[in-house]
Every structure is written in C-alpha cells, then in structure tokens.
Chain A
C-alpha cells in the first residue's frame, strides 16, 4: 500500500517539476547547437543604430554566435524572402517584422514556440504557435512640440480635418491595419469620409515609420496623421521635440519572430527568438530601442505608451483583401 502511495507521489512530483528541466534541457541543446553553427542571419525592420546595441549584447551573452543583420521595410523583407525561396537560396534564420506572419501561408515558417513565450501577454500569442510576438507597434498621432502649440494639439482624428493643417500633415504609405481598424470601429462609410476630409489637407506620404518620425521631429512635417508610438518614444530619447496622442481604441500591430523552416542555422535562430522574448531581452529592447514589450513582466518606457489605453490587436490582411485595401489606401491618401 505504502509503495503504491509513494509511486503516486513520485509521479505527481515528476509531473509537477518536469516542465522546467525539460525546457532547460531543450535550451541547453539549442545553445550548444547554436555555438556549433556559429552564425545567425537575422532579417528585420528595426533601425541599424537601434539594433546594433541589441545584437552586441546577444553576441556577448552567447559568444561563438555571430549575428548578421539585414534591414529593410516589412513588405520588402517578405518579398525578398519569397524571391530567395523561389531561387532556392535559404539564407534567413529569423525574421522579425510586422509582416512576418505572411510566411506562414507560404509554408516557410517553422512551427516552434520558444520556452520564454510563457511570459508573453496571452492575447498577443499566435493561435497556430508558428510566430512569437517580439514587440508591438501602437498607431498614434505624432506631432512636433515646438511647432504645435499646446492648445492646438489634436484630440481626435476629426481635429485633423481642420483647414489650418493644410500642407502640414504627413502619413506613412503602408498603415493598412490602422486604416482598416478605424473603419471597423467607426463604420466603413464614416471612416472613409473622415479620411477623405483629412486627405483634403494634402498630407505628404512617405515610406518608413522611422523616416516619418524623423521628419516630424525635424519640423518638416508638424503632424503625422499616424505613426508608431515606439518611434515617437525613440525620437524623444534622442532629445527630439516630439510627442504623441493615442486615440482609443488604439490599433495595435504585433511584430512577431518567425523561425525559417529552412534555416541554415536553426539552433541559433531558436536561441535568438528565445532570448529576445525573455525578460532580459525584452527589457533590453525597451531600454535601447524604445520598443513596446510583449511580456506581462516588462513595462514600456514611458509606460503611457500602453498604460490606460484600449489596445486592439489588428489581424494581418492577406491576398485579395490586402490588394483591395492597398488600392483604397493609395486612392485616398495619395490620390491615385
């Protein structure tokens, strides 16, 4: 009898404690594998100057793994990966960008979730378990604090329709999620009408959120109709005169990491995906890049990037839907 009791207890104990050692074992194997591979090809959209410190830290933590970065904007990265796949040159190991989830439907993503994913805000997780959130982008209005008086700071999108902003607005050329999100909140007709009235102020349309943020900070464009909250936070850290207004509900875009199914350095890929979503990695991207973290135990800096805001996670558009939205977006903002 007592034997049976002991056995049950032992089984319980094993069940209780086994996840940890198994994770630890898996990580150890990955780390050793990565060292043997010696290299990691990372594709992503974060700025070079922001990335450099992050990569240096990773290389220092895992000596023997040399990180090589390739930066481009999200669409161009996915487009490049598809072209590479067509050429059968499998070069990238991990892709971290907002459009990364597209790789799922092309069969280029590995179904794998890092151990550290357990600390990520559950709402942000991919139900298929093929992508792992790394940071989020919030869609906010950005303005230049020197050029826009306190009283003039827009409090709603409606405020941007005022003719006094004619020629003073700018927009990014691929904010499709924000565009669709607002249509969902307000109703399509009402939203499109609002967009058209804002567009009457002839916003300058640029490619790249970093560029738009820099243009606002420099005063070239006093107000960006939409930009990413983290870009504003980053500019502020560099001493640029800029701030943001978040309007609820805030359309939020998840930038996930996708490990390549054909990764030349699969272990290094997993090691990076795990580190960048760990508490340490997340704290680092907050401190260094002004990024908005995805973990329950890490706060953004400043906290008001997400605190008190109603975040609405946007779903990615694909195929025909994407094409239609792209056409409508261009028609409204770029008049073409």
Chain B
C-alpha cells in the first residue's frame, strides 16, 4: 500500500512518469479501436460524402437478406471447428501424455509444429490437396479405390472445418496436455482399483474430472473459429459460405468502400466475441472452486495400452502424414511447375525452378520478408515491455484500480483481427496521427492484438519472483526504475524471452488485420501470399510457401535449442 500511495504522491518522479505513461499507452491501445469502431459505424458516408450521425449502417446490416444466413453460417462453422479441433487435440494430448504409445515424445513435438505454418499457406495447400478435380488427396483416393468421382471436396462446411481444425488443434493440444499432466489421478486410481478398464476410466473419470477445463477450452476454440479469416476467405467464398469476417472484409475492401457497414457488422461480431470471452473468464474463475490441480507432487500414471499402443502409434503417424507431410508435399509439387496443375506423375515432366528464381528476385517479396521480421521483433519487444510493467503494477503494488489495468490489457483478446484492421482505419483516418500507410499502423495493431498474450506470460513470471530481491534493491537506495531494469527485468528474462518468441511467431503469421492496413512498401509475407493467390500466381505462392515453411522450421529449431540451453520452461 505504501508504495502505491507514494507513487501517487510523487507524480513528477521519473518512476511515476514511466508507470503512468505505460498505463496511458495501454488504455489508449485498448480503448480507441473500440470507441472509433462504434463511432465510425454510426456515421453516414464515412468515406465518401458528408458524415452525419445515423443508424443506417445497422439497419442495412440487420435488414440484409444475408444477415441471418451469416449468423447461421458463422455458428455452424465455429461450432464445427471447436468440436473437431477439440477432439483432435484432446485425443493427441491424451495419447502423448497419458499412454505408453511408442514415439509419443516425437508426436508431441509434431503436434506443435503445425502451429508454425501460417494459416494462409496451410489453407492454400489444403485447397491443392482437396480440390474436387485436381486435389492430390482426391486423386490418390480415386486411383486407390477405382472411384469414378472424387470423394472429397474442400468447398463445403466439412472442408472448411477440417482445414481450420488441422491448423488450430495445436492450441488445444497444449491446453489439454497441461491439464492431463497436472491433474490429480487419485480418482482414476480408485476406479482402476475398483476394476474399471482404461476406456471406462477415461470416459467416466478422467473426462469428468477435467470437465471444467474441457468446456472452457471448447469455448475459446469457438471464439477462435468465429474470428478466423483465412479459411472463410479462401475456401468459404468460393463455397458460397459467408461468415461475419468475410462479410466485413468484402464491405470494407469492395468498391465503394462501405466502412460504416463493415463497422456495423463488426460490432455484432465483437458482441459475440466479447460475450464468449466473458463466459470463458467466468468459467475459468469458477473452475478453481473444484480444482484438481493441487500441489500434491506426483505425475499421473501412464496407462499401458497393451497391443493397442502400436495401433495408437500408427494412427498418430498416419495423422501427421496427412496433416503435416501432405500439405508441404502439395506446396512443393506445385512450386516446381509453371502453372497450377493436378499433381500427377505427368505434371513433373515440366519440372522447373523458375518460380523460385522469381520469388527470390522479386523486390516486393524480399521487402515483405524484411517488414515481417521487423514487425515481429518490434511487436514482441513492445508487447513484452509494456506487459512486464503492467504485471509489476498488478502483482506487486496495491494501487487502487489496478484490476482495471489488468482488464484493459485483456480486452483485445476479444477483438478479432478483421475488426482490428477496420478499427485501425477508423482511428487513423479520424485522429490527426499520420501513420496510415506506414509500418507504424501495423505495429500498433499487432501490439494491441497481442497484449493479452504478453500479459499472461508476464504475470505468471512475475508471481514467481520473490519480492525480497526488489526490497533489497530499494533498501540499498535504488530508484524504482533502477530496481525494475536491473533487478526485476533480468529475473523476468526467461519468461520474457519465451513470451517474446511466442508473440514474434504469431505476428509473423498475422493476416486478418494486416490485409486492411498494408500499403505500398509495407507489405508483409502473409499479405503477399494472399495477393499472389488472388492474382492467380499459384506456383509462385507455392514456391514462396516452401521457402517460408523452411525458414520457420529452421527458426523454430534454433529457438528450441536456445531455449533448452537457457533452461526456459516451455509453456
């Protein structure tokens, strides 16, 4: 309490200025996009003509014939994605964490690897695999089973749900792995003692014990589904399945740009997403009342699957072949031809490296690469710096109203990337801050989007550091700033670094906000891929995709080695 009072009392000390500045920056980042989105959606003719207060955008959005089908489509898609992703991730996590399946350590690494490939690339490679006529997987199946027609099509709800799920499941895998690892297995042991077999035990005990975690995970996956952009844009539009994100994209980027209408639709999506996050918070808060993750230090028993373990192993291998190996293979195959082809042996007669030559010599691509790296490093640094200070305030001090600061930092988790993109246009076309069309606007968007991820890591790390070290520093006469930068930050470093890496990786993949904000000279890799695909340069997309995947894998390997050396715990 004393520190807090002191901080307030000494407004002009540099410490207070730093703290106050950070609070203001975070409040600005979190609040302006939302405020301007609502303001913009209530304006007539935001882009063209005089701006007046109006409800016309909302009326247009609600009275659109499509509005109700949008609702329905978005929900079917998001529910499908959440359930399917949940099944894949949970089964894999169970196999890797709780059974004696051979190769489970490797599977656990592979399950996270899918997260590294950017969504836009994975979606394109699934289009190459599952297109009705030229899809590699379809052709394989028709030849293998002598079918007359292609059995699968990507242009359907199933195609969309599958593609989104095989991209999203690592998130669920990580959450469920942690849950399986740290759960109290005494209830399970009791069931085994009472003669239950593995399956009964899993169904009756394990899943019931974990139910609160399961429900909240499904909810967060649902939010991810309803916010997702890549799959609805690349697969949903040709399949005539429109969801909120694609509607917003169409309204804002079509001609004439209907930003007000995009804003009205975004408000509705935002409402759904905020509601979801609110429920999620409530659920996870409640979870603690019947927590099974206690301080009792033992590892849950590993279940012997008997012969079934080979079956599980084979299943995992098949799964990773299909979801990791085949997509990369499809990209690789396409990158060697001059135009889009069905990937048959015949296609390789025209083997060419021309696309690689083009991709490597095209200045926009090299520039996009540079921009992506700058933005990833920049946003990761700013996010971790801001959230470290916020975490210090919320964990260490007793400043009144600090819960609000925590809440502010967490707000952006409910903002889908598409909405962030539209909001940023509103903000910087209205306020006299001339950053539209520069890399700064992208940096601001990324920082805002990823604050919630940073704060989670930073708070968790801050809690672990004992206060006495800081007190020792202060007792020796150091100022707050000295203490923070020389004692707290170095102690935070391992957590800070893993948070940094995480934010950098998700920034490198960002598409849905960037697509509204990039301009000439500020292209990023994901938007270049999107633009090349849009223009029909599919072989170039494939060549670029192969290079990007290669780059990201190398990066991930370096990070992994480095982390091990620094002894950072992987979350």
Contacts and interface: CB of A to CB of B under 8 A. Distances in A.
A233 interface: no
A80 B531 contact: no
Contacts of A150: none
Interface in A192-229: 204-215, 217-222
B338 interface: yes
B476 interface: no
B339 A235 contact: yes
A89 B440 CA distance: 14
B69 A89 contact: no
A72 B531 contact: yes
A48 B520 contact: no
B535 A210 contact: yes
B155 A204 contact: yes
A49 B254 CA distance: 25
Contacts of A235: 339
Interface stretch (B89-97, B131-139, B387-395, B455-463): B131-139
Interface in B430-464: 434, 436-437
Contacts of A43: 520
A68 B520 contact: yes
Nearest to A88: B434
B532 A86 contact: no
Contact of B437 (A71, A87, A231): A87
B340 interface: yes
B342 A48 contact: no
A45 B537 CA distance: 12
B211 to A, nearest CB: 40
A73 interface: yes
Contact of B339 (A87, A238, A322): A238
A206 B533 CA distance: 11
Chain A binding surface, main DSSP class: mixed
B536 A205 contact: no
Interface string A65-101: 0001111111110111011101111011000000100
Contact of B536 (A41, A47, A68, A204): A47
Contacts of B534: 72-73, 207-208, 210-211
A239 B349 CA distance: 12
Given A210-B536, A211-B535, A218-B340, A91 B134 contact: no
Contact residue range for chain A?
Answer: 35 or more
Contacts of B540: 48-49
A212 B358 CA distance: 22
Interface string A24-61: 00000000000000000101010111001000000000
A336 B240 contact: yes
A334 B434 contact: no
Residue among A47, A49, A167, A215 having the largest count of chain B Cβ atoms under 10 Å = A49
Chain B binding surface, main DSSP class: loop
A74 B255 CA distance: 9
B232 to A, nearest CB: 13
A102 to B, nearest CB: 7
A277 B436 CA distance: 32
Contacts of B105: none
B429 A83 contact: yes
Given A86-B47, A212-B536, A79 B132 contact: no
Given A89-B436, A240-B339, A220 B429 contact: no
Contacts, number: 145
B240 A99 contact: no
A75 B255 contact: yes
A170 to B, nearest CB: 8
A122 interface: no
Interface in A275-299: none
A154 B1 CA distance: 82
A106 interface: yes
Contacts of A78: 255
A335 interface: yes
Given A47-B536, A73-B534, A79-B256, A86 B429 contact: yes
A102 B254 CA distance: 13
Contacts of B361: 52
Contacts of B238: 204-206
A82 B253 CA distance: 11
Contacts of A208: 534-536
A24 to B, nearest CB: 32
B369 interface: no
Contacts of B566: none
A41 B520 contact: yes
Interface in B240-279: 240, 242, 252-257
A82 B47 contact: yes
B247 to A, nearest CB: 11
B364 A214 contact: no
A52 B358 contact: yes
A44 B537 CA distance: 15
B48 A82 contact: yes
B538 interface: yes
A83 B47 contact: yes
B36 to A, nearest CB: 13
A43 B519 CA distance: 10
Contact of A220 (B131, B253, B428, B519): B131
Contacts of A76: 253-255
A214 B340 contact: yes
Given A47-B535, A89-B437, A214 B339 contact: yes
Interface in A110-126: none
A292 to B, nearest CB: 17
A174 to B, nearest CB: 9
Residue among A86, A106, A334 having the largest count of chain B Cβ atoms under 10 Å = A86
Given A87-B437, A220-B134, A69 B364 contact: yes
A211 B523 CA distance: 21
Contacts of B339: 214, 217-218, 235, 238-240
Contacts of A220: 131-134, 340
B354 to A, nearest CB: 9
Contacts of A45: 535
A82 B436 CA distance: 13
A199 to B, nearest CB: 11
Contact of B342 (A83, A210, A219): A219
B333 to A, nearest CB: 12
Contact of B537 (A41, A49, A334): A49
A80 B519 contact: yes
Contacts of B425: 83
Contacts of B237: 173, 205-207
A83 B257 contact: yes
A214 B540 CA distance: 12
Nearest to A79: B257
A74 B362 CA distance: 22
Given A79-B255, A204-B155, 5 more contacts: A47-B537, A73-B534, A106-B48, A240-B338, A336-B65
The 3 closest A-B pairs by CB, nearest first: A210-B536, A218-B340, A75-B255
26 contacts: A43-B520, A45-B535, A47-B536, A48-B364, A48-B531, A68-B521, A69-B364, A73-B534, A80-B253, A82-B257, A83-B429, A84-B437, A87-B434, A106-B48, A206-B238, A208-B534, A209-B536, A211-B534, A211-B536, A217-B339, A218-B340, A219-B134, A220-B340, A221-B133, A222-B133, A235-B339
Interface of A: 41, 43, 45, 47-49, 52, 68-76, 78-80, 82-84, 86-89, 91-92, 99, 102, 106, 167, 173, 204-215, 217-222, 231, 235, 238-240, 322, 334-336
